[in-house]
């Protein structure tokens, strides 16, 4: 199937383009971006022109930041195109619900992607936890914003989500693997005095579940989820790439293609072929609740 990438930035070049080019399901037929392009692929700077000029492209993958994404998704859906949304699927829950309603009315597929759910050991962790009683769960998600978003001031603007941009990856795994849902009960959000979104957050959930997100970790990436149960402790490390059960590392068990984004594109191909929609918003609900319930603490200014 022919697909167009809209928004040719770091995530598109690092993850989306290689995943599409390696997939037997997809042909990267066009891009649309104000600043970026892909060598050998037809490039547009105006999305309306792309939609008009290339009716043969039935699927678009939207990779730009979340704030402008709604208008592009709306235009694509109303033009009868299937839409794949980079995480988070929108700048607000209302936008996401509106897009789902439009997609159902137009009869097109819509996919809210959560790439961390496609990490190697997430399916195995979900399967192991399915019949367990969870007694405690904790997320530690620490990384450097300078490393992963160098100079990208939009992450600190309204709608950019701040530390929840990586933190929602952890929440997407948590909501996937826990055998019973949890809800937020409180939060402490640390805002640099010169920024509009938080640089760190501590979250408390029902079910003795908690999380710590921090974008100021300059030493190493720490992406870990620990779940204590009545049958022992499961730990997902490296963002779900490794699983440890009761201090013993487990080997990979699923046979899907290696890499999170190839698995996402395989899922999108299946959705289009089935005429289905996947708009699970559980991770975004937790983020919205954190902004609603969280206490605000002002911390030192941040500059790149």
Residues 107 and 13 placed together within one structural domain of the fold: yes
Residues 248 and 133 placed together within one structural domain of the fold: yes
Residue 29's CATH number: 3.40.50.720
- Asked if the structure places residue 244 within a domain, the reply is yes
Residues 155 and 295 placed together within one structural domain of the fold: yes
- Asked if the structure places residue 276 within a domain, the reply is no
- Asked if the structure places residue 271 within a domain, the reply is no
The residue out of 112, 142, 159 marking a domain boundary is 112
Residues 121 and 105 placed together within one structural domain of the fold: no
- Asked if the structure places residue 183 within a domain, the reply is yes
- In order along its 304 residues, the chain shows pLDDT tens digits of 999 999 999 999 999 999 999 999 999 999 999 989 999 999 999 999 999 999 999 999 999 999 999 999 999 999 999 999 999 999 999 999 999 999 999 999 999 999 999 999 999 999 999 999 999 999 999 999 999 999 999 999 999 999 999 999 999 999 999 999 999 999 999 999 999 999 999 999 999 999 999 999 999 999 999 999 999 999 999 999 999 998 888 765 554 445 899 999 999 999 999 999 999 999 999 999 999 999 999 999 999 9
How would you classify the pairing of strands 110-112 and 82-85? parallel
Residues 160 and 291 placed together within one structural domain of the fold: yes
This prediction has a pTM of 0.94
Residues 231 and 89 placed together within one structural domain of the fold: no
**What strands lie across the sheet with 82-85, from one edge to the other?**
42-44, 27-32, 2-6, 59-62, 82-85, 110-112
Residues 94 and 130 placed together within one structural domain of the fold: no
- Asked if the structure places residue 269 within a domain, the reply is no
Q: Which of 245, 261, 213 is nearest to 28 (CA)?
A: 261
- Asked if the structure places residue 179 within a domain, the reply is yes
Residue 152's CATH number: 3.30.360.10
For residue 6, the SS3 value is strand
What domain range is 243 assigned to?
117-255+287-299
What is residue 12's DSSP assignment? I
Residues 157 and 17 placed together within one structural domain of the fold: no
The question of whether 126 is a catalytic residue gets the answer no
Residues 121 and 103 placed together within one structural domain of the fold: no
Sequence-ordered strand ranges (E) for 45-133: 59-62, 82-85, 110-112
Number of domains in the chain: 2
The residue out of 90, 112, 134 marking a domain boundary is 112
- Asked if the structure places residue 32 within a domain, the reply is yes
CB 143 within 8 A of CB 58: no
Residues 163 and 293 placed together within one structural domain of the fold: yes
Residues 147 and 224 placed together within one structural domain of the fold: yes
Catalytic residue among 21, 87, 132, 147: 87
Residues 191 and 103 placed together within one structural domain of the fold: no
- Asked if the structure places residue 304 within a domain, the reply is no
């Amino acid at each position: 199937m022919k697909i167009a990438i809209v928004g040719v930035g770091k995530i598109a070049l690092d993850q989306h383009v290689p995943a599409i080019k390696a997939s037997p399901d997809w042909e990267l037929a066009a891009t649309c971006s104000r600043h970026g392009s892909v060598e050998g692929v037809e490039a547009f700077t105006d999305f309306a022109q792309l939609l008009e000029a290339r009716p043969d492209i039935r699927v678009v993958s939207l990779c730009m930041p979340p704030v402008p994404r709604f208008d592009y998704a709306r235009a694509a859906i109303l033009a009868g195109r299937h839409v794949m949304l980079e995480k988070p699927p929108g700048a607000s829950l209302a936008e996401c619900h509106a897009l789902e309603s439009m997609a159902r009315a137009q009869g097109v597929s819509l996919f809210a992607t959560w790439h961390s759910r496609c990490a190697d050991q997430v399916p195995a962790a979900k399967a192991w936890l399915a019949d367990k009683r969870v007694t405690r769960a904790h997320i530690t998600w620490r990384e450097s914003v300078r490393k992963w978003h160098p100079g990208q001031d939009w992450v600190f603007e309204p709608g950019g989500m701040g530390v929840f941009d990586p933190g929602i990856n952890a929440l997407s795994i948590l909501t996937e693997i826990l055998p019973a849902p949890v809800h937020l009960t409180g939060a402490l959000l640390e805002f640099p005095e010169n920024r509009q979104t938080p640089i760190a957050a501590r979250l408390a959930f029902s079910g003795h579940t908690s999380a710590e997100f921090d974008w100021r970790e300059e030493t190493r990436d720490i992406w870990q989820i620990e779940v204590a149960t009545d049958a022992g402790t499961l730990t997902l490390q490296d963002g779900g790439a490794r699983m440890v059960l009761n201090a013993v590392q487990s080997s990979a068990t699923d046979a899907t293609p290696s890499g999170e984004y190839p698995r996402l594109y395989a899922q999108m191909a299946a959705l289009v072929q089935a005429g289905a929609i996947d708009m699970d918003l559980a991770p975004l609900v937790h983020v919205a609740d954190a902004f609603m319930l969280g206490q605000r603490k002002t911390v030192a200014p941040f500059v790149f």
